[in-house]
Amino acid sequence: MTATIPSDKDRVIIFDTTLRDGEQCPGATMTFEEKLEVASLLDAMGVDVIEAGFPIASDGDFAAVHEIAKRAKNAVICGLSRAGAKDIDRCAEAIRPAKQGRIHTFLSTSPVHMKYKLQMDAEQVYQLVISAVTRARNHTDNVEWSSEDGTRTEFDFLCKCVEAAIKAGATTINIPDTVGYSVPEEYYDLFKRVRENVPNSDKAVFSVHCHDDLGMAVANSLAGIRGGARQIECTVNGIGERAGNTALEEVVMAMRVRNDKLPFWNKIDTTMLTRASKVVSAATSFPVQYNKAIVGRNAFAHESGIHQDGMLKNAETYEIMRPESVGVKQTSLVMGKHSGRHAFVHKLEEMGYKLGQNQLEDAFVRFKALADRKKEIYDEDIEALVDQEIAQSHDRIKLLSLTVIAGTHGPQRATMKLDVEGQTKIEEAEGNGPVDAVFNCIKALVPHVAKLELYQVHAVTQGTDAQAEVSVRLAHEGRSMTARAADPDTLVASAKAYLSALNKIVMKRERDLPVAEAAAS
């Protein structure tokens, strides 16, 4: 097999605008320190161009761009500016310390933007494109020009502006889908046609910049690359104006995983993607949706039994990339109501349990019952459940059912059904509180002289649906018997814990006496 050497013509420049377009979305403002942290991570991750801010916007934005420009080791540091002298000069000053700096100047070219927003005619816009790029070019030879609202721009006018911008010295031409309006075929076509129609198009790198208003930012970006663009403007976690920008982690992994259909490459160290996502989420306080591609908490998690079984047999059954490739330690098989026996056994083995077939079957039935009632099943839940299963397998007294009436109007009343050595017994009792009623039921069903020494309740995990773990200590014949039981219902856990302690007493004596006598003695 011959290894394919990636060629420069297929190299895609990753232009990250998390700190500029990303920060533009309401609520995502980052502090100076947070911006430095994000920039340093992007630089280390292999991002080619970091758009660090919009220097004319505020002194804070200027300072952040300036400091990032000083610190960047590898990336080109870029600042955004409108098409005016003041903006461009301020931007040039901000990026000055960078080893490699870029001025990114933009101007709207669509009829609606020109008429209503800029209140300029096409000729004025055309002249302003030339003067802005020329001014930027006087500061640096790395100039990007964007035709804002490019996808709603009249085609001939777009080509005319692009040609003029390149002639004036722009080295990168960005045609943004500013309002997320385009569809992949159309965006592909746009780049193909602009590059074919603009005579000097070979003198610039073309760039895509997509918004996700119709959920097509990633698909559109990749279509633009197929159409000849070689720079993708994107943000970590896809944050940005309105519905956001193209998600960096998604385009990067799409090109890695589907290189057969998208034969392009980039320099990103993909093992840093998850960390970048977490850092940006923390800096912006924007949570990452659980099912977000690549970096969502469920991106490598499986709860359904059929999927878990497949994953245990071969990871390729349900995963198209390895979690390690994006910096996630390992696939997680989440135990829940959709899990099956294969995953349950695997989980038990991981936790160090080896159960016999019958015990396993019982534990699985109880696990399913618990999962039906509880949103998240933690390892501690399974531990409590299996420990109980093991402890109860030899029990002489078993709880069959329990109903308790509690509330503000006492006395509280419990109805309990027990299996006592194979015999079903039912009793009803009142008490001073529901727990007392439950324990009185037990005393009525299995009369005994053991005294309750301790009763304690803990939550196994957090949340109002957490299992309650109850400890009970009974004093009998000068010795204490302690037992624990867990259940999402505190009263059921209380009954089970009491019965478990009682069972221990009974077991001690059962070789000599029948159960009722043993308990009564």
Ligand X SMILES: CC(C)C(=O)C(=O)O
Ligand Y SMILES: CC(=O)SCCNC(=O)CCNC(=O)[C@H](O)C(C)(C)COP(=O)(O)OP(=O)(O)OC[C@H]1O[C@@H](n2cnc3c(N)ncnc32)[C@H](O)[C@@H]1OP(=O)(O)O
Residue ranges for the binding site for Mn(2+)? 21, 209, 211, 245
Question: Residue 454 to residues 483, 494, 505: CA-CA distances in angstroms?
Answer: 10, 12, 16
Let me know: does 39 contact 276? Beta carbons within 8 Å: no
Report the DSSP pairing between strands 172-177 and 143-148. parallel
Cα-Cα-Cα-Cα dihedral sign, residues 509, 514, 517, 520: positive
3-state secondary structure of 196: helix
- Report the site for ligand X in 81-110 (rule: CB under 6 A): 106
By beta-carbon proximity to Mg ion, the closer residue of 229 and 360 is 229
By beta-carbon proximity to ligand Y, the closer residue of 173 and 518 is 173
Contact between 21 and ligand X by CB under 6 A: the answer reads yes
Let me know: does 64 contact 35? Beta carbons within 8 Å: yes
How near is the Cβ of 161 to ligand X at its closest, in Å? 14
How near is the Cβ of 192 to Mg ion at its closest, in Å? 22
Stretch that binds ligand X, among 8-16, 67-75, 171-179, 350-358 (CB under 6 A): 171-179
Summarize the annotated binding site as residue ranges.
21, 209, 211, 245
- Interface map 172-191 toward ligand X (x if CB under 6 A): --x-x-x-------------
| Bridge partners (DSSP) listed for residue 11 | 265
Nearest to 229 by CA among 264, 255, 257: 264
Report the DSSP pairing between strands 332-333 and 301-302. parallel
By beta-carbon proximity to ligand Y, the closer residue of 119 and 314 is 119
Contact between 67 and ligand X by CB under 6 A: the answer reads no
Applying CB under 6 A, the residues found at the interface with ligand Y are 21, 24, 54, 56-57, 82-84, 106-107, 117-118, 148, 178, 241
104/97 Cα distance (integer angstroms): 16
- Interface map 3-22 toward Mg ion (x if CB under 5 A): ------------------x-
By beta-carbon proximity to ligand Y, the closer residue of 1 and 116 is 116
Q: What is the C-alpha R_g of the chain? A: 34
For residue 246, the partner it binds in ligand Y, Mg ion, ligand X, none, with Cβ less than 5 to 8 A by kind, is: none
How near is the Cβ of 6 to ligand X at its closest, in Å? 28
By beta-carbon proximity to ligand X, the closer residue of 49 and 435 is 49
How near is the Cβ of 248 to ligand X at its closest, in Å? 15
3-state secondary structure of 26: coil
128/177 Cα distance (integer angstroms): 21
Q: Choose, by CB under 6 A, the member of 148, 303, 381, 436 that binds ligand X.
A: 148
3-state secondary structure of 294: coil
Contact between 142 and ligand X by CB under 6 A: the answer reads no
- Give Cβ neighbours of residue 112 (< 8 Å, ≥ 6 apart): 149, 152
- Report the site for ligand X in 198-217 (rule: CB under 6 A): 209, 211
How near is the Cβ of 101 to ligand X at its closest, in Å? 17
292/127 Cα distance (integer angstroms): 43
Nearest to 122 by CA among 156, 79, 166: 156
Size of the site for ligand X (CB under 6 A): 9
How near is the Cβ of 242 to ligand Y at its closest, in Å? 10
By beta-carbon proximity to ligand Y, the closer residue of 128 and 470 is 128
Burial of 196 (0-12, 13-18, 19+ CB in 10 A): exposed
Strand order in the sheet with 479-487: 451-459, 468-476, 479-487
For residue 439, the partner it binds in ligand Y, ligand X, Mg ion, none, with Cβ less than 5 to 8 A by kind, is: none
User: Can you give the binding site for ligand X, defined by CB under 6 A?
Assistant: 21, 106, 146, 148, 174, 176, 178, 209, 211
User: Can you give the binding site for Mg ion, defined by CB under 5 A?
Assistant: 21
